[in-house]
Structure 1
Amino acid sequence: MALSAKLGSLLRQNAQLSMTSVVNSIRCMSTSSTKLFIGGLSYGTDDQSLRDAFSNFGDVIDARVISDRDTGRSRGFGFVSFANADAASSALSMDGQELNGRNIRVSFANERPSAPRFGGGSGSYGGGYGGNSGGY
């Protein structure tokens, strides 16, 4: 009797977990299915050349090459957002194709969870080994 109750409880938990993952997957697909991650970009690729490369797949809402905050130099990846999911899906065919001398990687972008802006860190400015003892 106890075994069947335990088994029933496990089955209910698994059904709840899988339903939650299905809901999260649907939510993720509906919010990010028009945004693509573009990796392996040449350092010479800018926002406009990225937009031009993907505009023949559909209406490009935004094309952005991510640059380093300190140097301003491209970090070698970017994002392209389309007006609809069909255009984004067809643009996946660019995966492995050459753009400005580099073979690029194209995939659906994953939404990055927002990080806390203040606090939440687990270290100090000093870092080091040995705390206040001054040791290495």
Structure 2
Amino acid sequence: MNPSFILNIFVTVIFAIVLYYILPILASDMSNQLSAAIGVLVGGLLAPALSKLFSHSTLSNEQDVSSEVSTLYVGNLPYRADEEAVQEHFEQQGSVVSVRLMKDRRTGKRKGYGFVEMNAKGAAKAIKNLNDSTFQERTLKVRLAKEKLKKNSI
């Protein structure tokens, strides 16, 4: 369930409870049911605005840190290694977004290299700790991948 949805429900319920008790005191001729209904209405209208206000400032900072994704070139991989094994090996360094192991188009056999996308901090840690380390009896070469150049379409 979406955290902002839960927050909206929580704020709405709080407004309903508070106004259930406060409105009858302020307007003595108002019933408790009407004050609760007004509380739900006010809470329902204010909750999305409040959740956007609070979640935007905290999420933007988290997204700035977590959205920085780096692509690593991983060379000298064992031919028997699969994406899952490589992902488990790199997750010890940080959060892995994806793993792509290159295959020969004609034979379908792995080429012995691939690319791992992970958060920037994890990527830096992986380069430091996994470059020239042994993985399934092979010495890995781990470095930042070069930008893929797009072909000119003239």
Assess same fold via TM > 0.5. Answer: yes
Amino acid at match of 1:53: H
Q: What is the total number of aligned residue pairs between the two structures? A: 86
In structure 2, how many angstroms separate the alpha carbons of the residues matched to 1:50 and 1:109?
16
Shift of residue 115 of structure 1?
2.1
Residue of structure 1 in register with 2:43 after alignment: none
Q: Could you give the per-residue CA deviations for residues 39-97 of structure 1, whole angstroms, max 9, x where no partner exists?
A: 00111011111101101111100011111111110111001101x21111000120000
Residue of structure 2 in register with 1:27 after alignment: none
In structure 1, how many angstroms separate the alpha carbons of the residues matched to 2:76 and 2:152?
29
Q: Tell me whether 1:109 sits opposite 2:148 in the alignment.
A: no
For the structure 1 residues 104 and 69, does the alpha-carbon distance in structure 2 shift closer, same or farther, using more than 3 Å as the test? same
Residue of structure 1 in register with 2:123 after alignment: 88
Aligned-residue identity in percent: 29
Q: Tell me whether 1:100 sits opposite 2:136 in the alignment.
A: yes
One of 74, 86, 95 as aligned partner of 1:59: 95
Larger radius of gyration: 2
Residue of structure 1 in register with 2:78 after alignment: 42
In structure 2, how many angstroms separate the alpha carbons of the residues matched to 1:55 and 1:109?
18
Shift of residue 114 of structure 1?
1.5
TM-score for the superposition, normalised by structure 2 = 0.52
Q: Could you give the per-residue CA deviations for residues 13-41 of structure 1, whole angstroms, max 9, x where no partner exists?
A: xxxxxxxxxxxxxxxxxxx9611000001
Is residue 54–residue 91 contact of structure 1 (8 Å, CA) maintained in 2? yes
Q: Tell me whether 1:70 sits opposite 2:109 in the alignment.
A: no
Which ranges of structure 2 fall in alignment gaps of 5 or more residues? Answer: 1-67
Amino acid at match of 1:90: K
In structure 1, how many angstroms separate the alpha carbons of the residues matched to 2:78 and 2:152?
32
**2:117 match: secondary structure:** strand
